[in-house]
Amino acid sequence: MGEAIKINEISTINKPKFKGKDFIQLSDFSTDEILYLLNEAIEMKKLQKQGKPHPYLSGKVLGMIFEKSSTRTRVSFEVGMLQLGGHAIFLSSKDIQLGRGESISDTAKVLSRYVDGLMIRTFSHDSVEELAEHATVPVINGLTDLQHPTQVLADLLTILEHKGKLSGLKMCYIGDGNNNMTHSLMEGAMKVGMDISIASPPGYLPNGNITEKAIKVGKQTGCALLITNDPLEAVKGADVIVTDVWTSMGQEDETEKRLKAFQGFQVNDELCKLAKEDFIFLHCLPAHRGEEVTAEVIDGSHSVVFDEAENRLHAQKAILKLLLAK
């Protein structure tokens, strides 16, 4: 809807001393570190819009391991590396020896001798952590069943652009609470000072360990976390409404069960009337219009889903610069 703007609350953040080499989950990062990455993403976006070269990663190579199919993750990382002056290599698990039984540890040790960084999009979160443990180059979590931190960094960037701030806002998530988006949204929102409410049907509540950690962070940042089975309660006064598909990759055999369980959890015009008048709507895409969200909402004036999709590129360039430009 508009170009990125400089936000006062993050423009004065100096570069923190990042302790880790990887980008696995947002809970690993401090509030200042997340705000610094958002500021870097804004600068990256400005440079691109102005047509100014920014080859921070000239000569660098990113290896990208995909066990799950992708549109936005693959294209944004490939384009991001190109715009940063580097190169990305697509590595399908079907095409490399990992898909034929080679261990993750051996794969990590070998690829670390070829590339400057690794991005992996997979099912098990343990696979990402094992890859990072044995790799000597930075590892980026492009998605697991448990976490989706690169997407949520882009979500925070989108909210920042449209609302001019993060702290003090209320985010509401409607849908499957026990999925990667919910978990990373909980971590990200609480870190940057946003209240978050989550409405999910019984049996689909967020991971208990992640919830406990988010509550601890909320006590430090002064944020509230609400988990409920009532979408009407969750959405009241929301500045930001978020949803995701009801059936994620790998859950296809549960489709019918989930369609029944999530009746009443659709984001539609009636539900949105309880939010702030100027709320914005986010969805990580792909979307199933008529299921988790109506066409009227996702294609309506409050929707910023395509700004959000574009911001995957800018947010990930900030991550890549941080990890690979050392």
Helix (H, G, I), strand (E, B) or coil at 66: strand
Q: How many whole angstroms separate alpha carbon 245 and alpha carbon 302?
A: 19
Look at the chain and count its residues: 326
* Residue of 25, 48, 83, 121 marked active site: 121
Find the DSSP H helices in 2-71.
8-11, 31-49
Helix, coil or strand: residue 93: coil
Given the residues 147, 151, 266, 316, the one annotated as active site? 151
State yes or no: is 72 an active-site residue. no
Q: Which of 244, 283, 307, 314 is catalytic?
A: 244
Our answer to whether residue 312 is catalytic in this structure is yes
For residue 177, what are the contacts with CB-CB under 8 A and spacing of at least 6? Answer: 198, 199, 200, 204, 205, 206, 227
Does residue 284 carry a catalytic annotation? yes
Alpha-carbon distance values, 220 to 81, 187, 215, 217, 324 (Å): 36, 13, 9, 5, 31
Terminal Cα-to-Cα distance of the chain (whole angstroms): 33
Angle at 92 between CA 96 and CA 139, to 5 degrees: 90
Q: What does R_g of the chain's alpha carbons equal in angstroms?
A: 19
User: Which of 172, 312, 314, 316 is flagged as catalytic?
Assistant: 312
Contact status, residue 265 vs residue 292, Cβ threshold 8 Å: yes
Of the residues 284, 302, 314, 316, which is catalytic? 284
Q: Is 48 a catalytic residue?
A: no
**Structure-token pair, residue 86:** 């580097």
The one catalytic residue among 72, 134, 148, 314: 148
| CA distance readout (Å), 302 to 148, 277, 292, 297 | 24, 9, 16, 7
Residue 113 among the catalytic residues: no
Helices and strands (H and E) in the chain: how many? 13, 9
CA separation, residue 187 to residues 30, 94, 154, 194, 213 (Å): 11, 32, 14, 10, 8
Q: Known catalytic residue: 272?
A: no
Give the residue numbers annotated as catalytic, written as ranges: 121, 148, 151, 244, 284, 312
